[in-house]
Amino acid sequence: MQLGEIATAVTAQNDTTAWHDIEVSSVAFDSRQVTNGALFVPLEGERDGHEFIQSAKQNGAVAALWKADHGAVPSDFPVLVVDDPLTALQALSKHYLLKINPKVVAITGSNGKTTTKDMVAAVLSTQFNVTKTTDNFNNEIGVPVTILAMEPNTEVLVVELGMDRPGQLDFLSKLVSPDLAIITMIGEAHIEFFGTRDKIADAKMEITHGLKADGTFIFDGDEPLLTERAKAVTQRQVTFGRQATDDVYATNVVATDTHTQFSTNQWPDQTVTVPMIGDYNINNALAALSVAKLYRITPNVAVDAFKSLDLTKNRAEWIQGKAGERILSDVYNSNPTAVKEVMAAFSKVATEGKRRVVLGDMLELGAQSDALHAGLQTAFDSALVQDVYLVGPHMAALYDVLQADYQPDALHLYNVDQQGKLITDLQSVLTATDTLLIKGSHGIHLENVLAALQK
């Protein structure tokens, strides 16, 4: 876009006539990520982004936004003066979305939204030009940046919408105006901010607030919290799950440590192979297949798309360790439902050596945190998982109850700042025949442990 068009979209307060024809090819809010032709958006967080405008200019930015109450406006560089750079970023993304006008598939859920996003994008990419959310760009900043990263030929935008407070999905849904809105499931993630699963379900349903009148709501039909609330949604609805009452459900499930196979009632002659551990990924795949059916993608084409999934890293990913051990890396995020699901799958993985587990604290569980951590005890069988390494103050609650199931030398507890000792302890015992699971909330940074074991 030219800067003049951007100035109109963000309601710039200053005269931009002299710069009207400047071409802008990208948008960035991190000056280190700026490339030639970028518009720099100075956001205020731990640091004030206005401090980095000179750095952005040196890295190739051709213009920047500037907050109106932020002092003297630079005179040696094109800036658009706005009330609030974040609001302007969001307005610009809405303008660009309407200009490109792709179909929009929006996805949220307590678990599985990133994997579902990857699956939906893979299926749709067989017939359409698709842009999808990268990394964890799923909030008020990340969603606009995802939109503005679309190539002009984008036909479908697959966008992940995150949530940690009421009203957030209402805003994001109305920003992207989805044609399809998907809720993968309701769990305990972010229960610190909501208190109950009922209130989490209320907040997740906000994804339907911006759903187009002729859009479709796709959700887990086996979740009563969703089926009850879906009665108030007037748009078309499609359910997925494991029951014959769902519109799309799985049959003939076969799970291994590297993939999961199943068929569906819609396409009984097709075998779907998901290259991921855990039959909990079946529901994510069913959501993607529901999208495929709505977009009239033929069964064989949709099924083939799963064979070469481009999955976001650190989601139940097998990695080879330095000692030759197999490591199941799931270090991006964690909550009680996710831990129990991956533990159930991991406990069945064939191994000649020991199964060892590293679990970090599950964050944002509020007053219920210790009880929810202790509740993970049901996921452990000392005959199947021989060594347990727990990291964080809340995991102490799980440590306490697991003492009834494990000998002292098989149960270990570490503070968050004791990762060095954890790494040393693991390196001293791991062998090529062992299998190791590493899972925790991103804030615990178990990716550092993973990196050390790979060196």
153 in a known ligand binding site: no
Q: Does the annotation flag 109 for ligand binding?
A: yes
431, 323 Cβ separation under 8 angstroms: yes
| Residue 115 marked in a binding site | yes
Residue at token pair 């759903």: 211
3-state SS string for the chain: CEHHHHHHHCCCCCCCHHHCCCECCEEECCHHHCCCCEEECCCECCCEHHHHHHHHHHCCCCEEEEECCCCCCCCCCCEEEECCHHHHHHHHHHHHHHHHCCEEEEEECCCCHHHHHHHHHHHHCCCCCEEECCCCCCCCCHHHHHHHCCCCCCCEEEEECCCCCCCHHHHHHHHHCCCEEEECCCCCCCHHHHCCHHHHHHHHHHHHCCCCCCCEEEEECCCHHHHHHHHHCCCEEEEEECCCCCCEEEEEEEECCCCEEEEECCCCCCCEEECCCCCCHHHHHHHHHHHHHHCCCCHHHHHHHHHHCCCCCCCCEEEECCCCCEEEEECCCCCHHHHHHHHHHHCCCCCCCCEEEEEECCCCCHHHHHHHHHHHHHHCCCCCCCEEEEECCCHHHHHHHHCCCCCHHHEEEECHHHHHHHHHHHHHHCCCCCEEEEECCHHHCCHHHHHHHHC
| Cβ pair 200, 238 in contact under 8 A | no
Instruction: Establish whether 221 is an annotated binding residue.
Output: no
Residues whose CB falls within 8 Å of the CB of residue 140, separated by 6 or more in sequence, listed in order: 86, 90, 168, 171, 172
Contact residues for 286 (Cβ-Cβ < 8 A; gap 6+): 240, 241, 248, 249, 250, 264
Q: Is 110 annotated as a binding residue?
A: yes
Q: How far apart are CA 175 and CA 172, in angstroms?
A: 5
Radius of gyration of the chain (CA): 24
d(CA 324, CA 152): 45
**Neighbouring-strand partners of residue 70:** none
Per the annotation, binding residues for ATP are 109-115
Per the annotation, binding residues are 109-115
